[in-house]
């Protein structure tokens, strides 16, 4: 058996088309601001992609490039200014930040109603109490990919490997909100293989190349590979795709799975913030 591919690139294209259609009913242009501190080349590339995505859906986007040695106070001031701008509906601060900046304090400063990444504690708190508003982009994209399978999430056993606040923890909560039974695994899990084998839905977000092998996957499971790792200049996931696809029922590729959906969800969050819902 070979798993059905969950094509994130194609689904992201559909999301962008829907956004363009919804935009026709608006009398204003949604605006996204991205704040970059320093010149990390990977961050610069990610931001370029985000700007290109905005162009594709005719959003206004702007990038605020700030020097690496900017003080925390000045950075917070810049964010506060963006909070007050009526033409900016969503914003994000590109990570990583330099060591002298307190990342949590920065995220706390982004007004919850401008929080395009859905990482402000208010939005994460709403997610915790099953009042999902703006939710983090990668987990939201993962849920959309799982929905592509047209299988009900309720009652399924979901196993999230990885518990970061960016991916693992919120995706587990989103699955729980949809009535899955959720197990979290992490670096201290006693027998990860046994836990993974129980998963009807297996979400892997650890950042370890091809860590999940076929013997760790329940036949017919939905496998979501969040990892982006590089081997000899080639992007590979956390899942050993070639062998796991022979066991899984559905699987996301890397690249072309979760990545494009993360970017599409940023656009969707911006639109949601722009129309206030």
Verify whether residue 36 is a known catalytic residue.
Answer: no
Instruction: Give the list of residues 6+ apart from residue 207 with CB closer than 8 angstroms, or none.
Output: 162, 227, 228, 229, 238
Query: What minimum distance in Å lies between the beta carbon of 86 and ligand NAP?
Result: 30
For 5, the enclosing helix (H) or strand (E) is strand 4-5
226 scored as a contact of ligand NAP (CB under 6 A): yes
Verify whether residue 156 is a known catalytic residue.
Answer: no
Residue pair 82/91 in contact by the 8 Å Cβ criterion: yes
- Complex with ligand NAP: residue 7 or 229, whichever CB lies closer: 229
Q: How far apart are CA 224 and CA 256, in angstroms?
A: 12
- Complex with ligand NAP: residue 123 or 138, whichever CB lies closer: 138
262 scored as a contact of ligand NAP (CB under 6 A): yes
Query: What minimum distance in Å lies between the beta carbon of 117 and ligand NAP?
Result: 11
User: Of residues 79, 143, 153, 161, which one binds ligand NAP by CB under 6 A?
Assistant: 161
User: Of residues 6, 127, 258, 271, which one binds ligand NAP by CB under 6 A?
Assistant: 258
User: Of residues 90, 118, 162, 170, which one binds ligand NAP by CB under 6 A?
Assistant: 162
Query: What minimum distance in Å lies between the beta carbon of 39 and ligand NAP?
Result: 20
- Complex with ligand NAP: residue 138 or 177, whichever CB lies closer: 138
Q: Which of residues 173-192 bind ligand NAP (CB under 6 A)?
A: 185-189, 192
Query: What minimum distance in Å lies between the beta carbon of 204 and ligand NAP?
Result: 8
95 scored as a contact of ligand NAP (CB under 6 A): no
Q: How far apart are CA 240 and CA 63, in angstroms?
A: 36
Tally Cβ neighbours within 10 Å of residue 32.
Answer: 27
**Choosing from 36, 78, 94, 114, which is the catalytic residue?**
94
Please name which of 160, 115, 110, 158 lies closest in space to residue 133, comparing C-alpha atoms: 115
Residue 170 burial (CB < 10 Å; 0-12/13-18/19+)? buried
Strand 201-204 with 181-185, pairing: unpaired
Count of residues engaged in binding ligand NAP, rule: CB under 6 A: 25
* Burial track 66-80 (b if 16+ CB lie within 10 A, e otherwise): eeeebeeeebbebbe
Residue 134 burial (CB < 10 Å; 0-12/13-18/19+)? buried
Residue pair 109/76 in contact by the 8 Å Cβ criterion: yes
Verify whether residue 117 is a known catalytic residue.
Answer: yes
**Choosing from 53, 78, 114, 117, which is the catalytic residue?**
117
- Complex with ligand NAP: residue 76 or 202, whichever CB lies closer: 202
8 scored as a contact of ligand NAP (CB under 6 A): no
168 scored as a contact of ligand NAP (CB under 6 A): yes
For 264, the enclosing helix (H) or strand (E) is helix 258-275
Query: What minimum distance in Å lies between the beta carbon of 267 and ligand NAP?
Result: 14
- Complex with ligand NAP: residue 90 or 237, whichever CB lies closer: 237
Q: Indicate which residues carry an active-site annotation.
A: 50, 94, 117
């Amino acid at each position: 058996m070979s798993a059905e591919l969950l094509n994130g690139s194609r689904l992201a294209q559909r999301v962008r088309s829907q956004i363009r259609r919804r935009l026709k009913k608006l009398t204003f242009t949604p605006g996204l601001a991205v704040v970059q501190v320093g010149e990390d080349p990977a961050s610069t590339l990610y931001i370029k992609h985000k700007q290109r995505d905005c162009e594709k859906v005719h959003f206004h986007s702007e990038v605020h490039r700030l020097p690496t040695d900017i003080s925390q106070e000045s950075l917070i001031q810049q964010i506060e200014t963006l909070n007050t701008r009526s033409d900016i509906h969503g914003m994000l601060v590109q990570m990583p930040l330099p060591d002298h900046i307190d990342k949590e304090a920065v995220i706390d400063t982004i007004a919850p109603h401008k929080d395009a990444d859905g990482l402000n504690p208010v939005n994460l708190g709403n997610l915790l109490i099953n009042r999902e508003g703006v939710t983090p982009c990668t987990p939201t994209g993962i849920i959309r990919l799982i929905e592509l399978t047209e299988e009900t999430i309720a009652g399924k056993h979901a196993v999230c490997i990885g518990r970061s606040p960016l991916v693992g923890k919120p995706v587990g909560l989103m699955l729980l909100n949809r009535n899955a039974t959720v197990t979290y695994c992490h670096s201290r899990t006693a027998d990860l293989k046994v836990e993974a084998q129980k998963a009807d839905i297996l979400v892997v977000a650890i950042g370890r190349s091809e860590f999940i092998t076929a013997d760790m996957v329940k036949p017919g499971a939905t496998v979501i590979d969040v990892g982006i790792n590089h081997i000899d200049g080639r992007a590979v996931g956390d899942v050993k795709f070639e062998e796991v696809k022979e066991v899984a029922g559905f699987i996301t590729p890397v690249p072309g799975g979760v990545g494009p959906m993360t970017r599409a969800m940023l656009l969707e969050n911006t639109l949601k913030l722009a129309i206030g819902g």
